[in-house]
Amino acid sequence: MYDLIIKNGFVVSPSSTVKCDVAVNGRKIAGLGHYDESEGKRVIWAEGKYVLPGVIEAHMHCQAPFQGCLGANSFYEQSVSAAFGGVTMYMDFANMGKGDSPLVQALARADEMKESAIDYSVHGKFVESTPEAIADIEKMADQGIPTFKMFMTYKKEGVMSDDETMLKVFEKAKQVGGLPMVHCESNGIAETNIEKCREKDDMSWVNFAKCKPVICEAEAFARAVYFAQCVGNALLVVHTTNGEALNTARRAHEKGTPLYVETGPHYLTLFDNLYKEENGHLAICSPPLRTPKEAAELWEGLKDGTILLTGSDDCTFDIDEKSMFLEKKPDGTWKQDFTKVVNGISGIEIRLPLLLSEGVSKGRISINKVCELTSTNIAKIYGCYPQKGIIAPDSDADLVLVDMEKEVTLSKDVLHNNISYCLHEGFKVKGYPVMTIAKGKILVEEGEFKGEKGAGEFIRRKIDPQYLERYGLN
Ligand code: DUC
Ligand code: ZN
Ligand code: ZN
């Protein structure tokens, strides 16, 4: 007898879509095949639905003090919103300031995440390269935390890593089988441009994007890649937005550099025209939203394998936090100053729907590719495969049932992210998660959350060395 049988769905992996049943015992997948309904204590009929491995979000910032703000959600609330988007595991970053121990901060973060309804993990973060900080890298890897984030910008916020820190972290990460993750934007280019705007007294939302153009990202991207080649280590670049950077990646891949590139659904579906709106500050995120041209370049990168990962970079701030340092003019409109707006937009709940709709329903990519981009590849490169990221015997029974015919108009009212606006308001999607199952238990069913606060567990991770030695996740 099995605890659960999911019957007659199309079971999706990166390489196949097979109509079969999935049997679950306790928290694990017991088998795939054909089972009689009498063999299951509970049977879920999944005719016509696709069954994918639960989405893994490896890029979000929840309860993360930044630019004077904290975010709208507690970790429990974030996990509920995530579950509605098919997410069954997520990872956040240690909060770091100069003088902090990366290890202590990472463990503190894991502790904060205990209230999550879904499994979780943490990335270390580096803002300096003192001998003590570098020594923490091995200790973190030993404790199942083999990924280390650095920012190439945000100097004023005190979280930028200089070149030396990057090189030292790269070197040590290589020694312990770890992987640096880098936010690539040139602080120098951005700050110089911002100074010019200040001189002209034009700090409009539109100028935010102009201060951080493609070249600002592409220069830092190339520098990070050269550093990785210099040290001979692997590198993961988060939230890449444009073809200029992708061309650098292609050249690196030709040389065999294990460079893993992530993009986010907002860069595929939202554009810089939002900065022309009165409430354009709600769309301020870094790197900035770009144009449809860059989005088309990203779709190419997804198709040709230059981009193997997606992440939402979720930073859910409500209007009050996005606006808290702004003033209004006598006519009631904003006195625009983009330097007074916290960077970040919400997205954890809509990453899968947007990829299903804009990707699969529009014929750009297959559902198998979506499986890779939202789950399998994430589990592999972040080191929790095959416990996560695949529907196979002995893997965790983390599953998301998808109805490719379901049409939803995105709006603040249909999402569960605790904020009073939605940048995708009115955006129609076709293809939506209709049930989320984590470790064999139903988390979301028929629009209702059925999970439990604190049910999430810390997942220790270890990266397969072959992914760090050469490019590719096969
Ligand atoms: N980008 C954002 O938009 N917010 C937080 C951090 C980041 O890199
Ligand atoms: Zn970033
Ligand atoms: Zn981020």
Containing 93, the helix (H) or strand (E) segment is strand 87-93
Answer whether 270's CB lies under 8 Å from 287's CB: no
CA of 409 to the centre of ligand 1 (A): 26
Q: Is 125 in the pocket of ligand 1 (CB under 6 A)?
A: no
Q: Is residue 342 domain-resident?
A: yes
Q: Note the pLDDT tens digit of each residue in 369-378.
A: 999 999 999 9
Site of tokens 């709600």: 282
315 ligand 1 Cβ < 6 A: yes
Per the domain annotation, does 212 fall within a domain? yes
Ligand 1 atom closest to Cα of 342?
4
Q: Is 263 in the pocket of ligand 1 (CB under 6 A)?
A: no
Residue type, 293: K
pLDDT value for 317: 98
Q: Which residue type, as a one-letter code, is found at position 202?
A: D
- Tell me whether strands 428-438 and 399-409 are parallel, antiparallel or unpaired: antiparallel
Pairing relation of β-strands 235-237 and 259-263? parallel
Orientation of helix 214-231 relative to helix 243-254, angle to 10°: 20
Enclosing H/E stretch for 347: none
Q: Which of 204, 219, 181, 220 is nearest to 461 (CA)?
A: 181
**Tokens 């602080």 appear where?**
187
For the chain, the distance separating the N- and C-terminal CA atoms, rounded to the nearest angstrom, is: 34
Please tell me the predicted confidence (pLDDT) of residue 424: 98
**Cα dist. 327→69, 70, 319, 323, 334 in Å?**
17, 20, 13, 8, 6
Answer for the pair 258, 474: CB distance below 8 angstroms, yes or no: no
DSSP string, 271-332: -GGGGGSTTGGGG--SSPP--HHHHHHHHHHHHHTS--EE---B----HHHHHTT-EE-TTS
Residue 177 lies in a domain: yes
**Structural domain contains residue 405:** no
Instruction: Evaluate whether 224 touches 184 at the Cβ level (below 8 Å).
Output: yes
Residue 33: Cβ within 10 Å count: 11
Which domain covers residue 214, as residue numbers? 53-383+459-469
**Residue 183 Cα, ligand 1 centroid: separation in angstroms?**
9
94-117 burial, b at 16+ Cβ within 10 Å, e below that, comes to bbbeeebbbbebbbebbebbebbb
Q: Cβ atoms within 10 A of the Cβ of 122, count? A: 26
Q: Is residue 238 part of a domain?
A: yes
Ligand 1 centroid–CA 184 distance in Å is 11
Which protein residue's CA is at the shortest distance from atom 2 of ligand 1? 344
Ligand 3 geometric centre to CA of 61 (Å): 6
Helix (H/G/I), strand (E/B), else coil: 371: helix
Q: Please tell me if the CB atom of residue 344 comes closer than 6 angstroms to any atom of ligand 1.
A: yes
> What pLDDT digit, counting tens, does each position of 379-414 carry?
999 999 999 999 999 999 999 999 999 999 999 999
* Residue ranges of the chain with per-residue pLDDT less than 70: none
**Residue 290 beta carbon below 6 angstroms from any ligand 1 atom:** no
CA of 473: how far to CAs of 146, 177, 191, 192, 308, in Å?
17, 15, 37, 39, 8
Q: For residue 81, is it within any domain?
A: yes
Report the predicted TM-score, pTM, of the whole model to 2 decimal places. 0.98
The pLDDT assigned to 96 comes to 97
What is the 82 CA–ligand 1 centroid distance (Å)? 18
Nearest Cα residue to atom 4 of ligand 1: 344
Q: What is the pLDDT of residue 57?
A: 99
- Our mutation pick for probing the ligand 1 site, out of 286, 338, 345, counting the most ligand atoms within 8 A of Cβ, is 286
Mutate to test the pocket of ligand 1, among 69, 151, 313, 314 (most ligand atoms within 8 A of CB): 313
DSSP string of 436-471? EEETTEEEEETTEE---TT---BPP----HHHHHSS
Distance of alpha carbon 92 from alpha carbon 270, whole angstroms? 24
- Beta-sheet strand order (sheet of 55-57): 55-57, 87-93, 119-125, 147-151, 179-183, 235-237, 259-263, 309-310
Q: Is residue 14 part of a domain?
A: no
CA 99 from chain centre, in angstroms, equals: 27
Q: What is the CATH number of the domain that holds 162?
A: 3.20.20.140
Question: How many structural domains comprise the chain?
Answer: 1
Does some domain include residue 27?
no
Other C-beta atoms closer than 10 Å to the C-beta of 461 total 24
